[in-house]
Structure 1
Amino acid sequence: MVSVLQNVAIDCADAYELARFWSGVTGRPLHPDDRPGDPEIQVMLAEGPMLHFNQVPEPKTSKNRLHLCLRPDTSRDEEAARLQDLGASFVADHRNPDGTGWVILADPEGNEFCVLRSEAERRR
């Protein structure tokens, strides 16, 4: 017997608005039944588990123990800039002079995530 990963759940203050941000990040739609004000919203990813946003009353208080890592189809730096334009904030720079490394950003509610190098950048 095994378990199948159904979704990645993210606690948040405003499920709809945070799901809209992540919909913009991934380019994937919200679940068609989800509406503003719903306490649970899902982003329908093309493959793998869904992103599931749970509205909770308590605020985020410390560093994430689990986070998402994104591999863009453009360059890491172009994607980091695009995501900041969507509302992400810069947290830390782990880029190296040789082009390796990653950037840590936070979504509008402070959940950290990494932007990795694209596959093309990794082949260089």
Structure 2
Amino acid sequence: MASLVRHITIDCADAYRLGTFWAAVLDSSVHDDDRPGDPECLVESKGGGLLFVTVPEPKTVKNRVHLDVQPQDRTRDEEVERLLALGAALAADHRRPDGTGWVTLADPEGNEFCVERSAAERSAAERSGA
């Protein structure tokens, strides 16, 4: 039998703080056992689990792996605004005039992630030929 990815683990300076941010991004919550100051924090959502682990080293370079998030009940642009309000920072804007593209944001510890168009936006574009 093949292996399964159980969690995506992200090293960070403050596991609980970053876990709380990502729980809000994913409309989820941190695990019931996790508390501020814990060395680990688990966020489980419909799409899978993110495990945040406190490490002593700071982030120094661009991520080699990053998350792509797709909004479920809002547009890409609405989701970008919501995530900026939660504490994300704009890293790069790859939106095109025709509505395609994505936005690269950084979480509160500088980890890059991308926000894509929603499935509804993709379907509407396909129907209109855009």
CA deviations over 1:75-123 (Å, ceiling 9, x no partner): 0000000000000000001111110000000000000000000011101
Larger Rg: 2
Query: Structure 2 length normalisation: TM-score?
Result: 0.92
2:18 corresponds to 1:18: yes
How far residue 44 of structure 1 moved from its aligned partner, in angstroms, is: 1.4
Write the distance in 2 (CA, Å) between the matches of 1:16 and 1:40. 7
How far residue 46 of structure 1 moved from its aligned partner, in angstroms, is: 2.3
Equivalent position of 1:58 in the other structure: 57
Equivalenced residue count is 123
Q: Percent identity?
A: 59
Write the distance in 1 (CA, Å) between the matches of 2:55 and 2:81. 29
Query: Structure 1 length normalisation: TM-score?
Result: 0.96
What is the Cα-based RMSD across aligned positions, in Å? Answer: 0.8
**Shift >6 Å, 4+ stretches:** none
2:17 corresponds to 1:4: no
Query: Matched residue of 1:27: which SS?
Result: coil
2:112 corresponds to 1:112: yes
Structure 2 residues not aligned, in runs of 5+: 125-130
CA deviations over 1:44-68 (Å, ceiling 9, x no partner): 1124x31000100000000000000
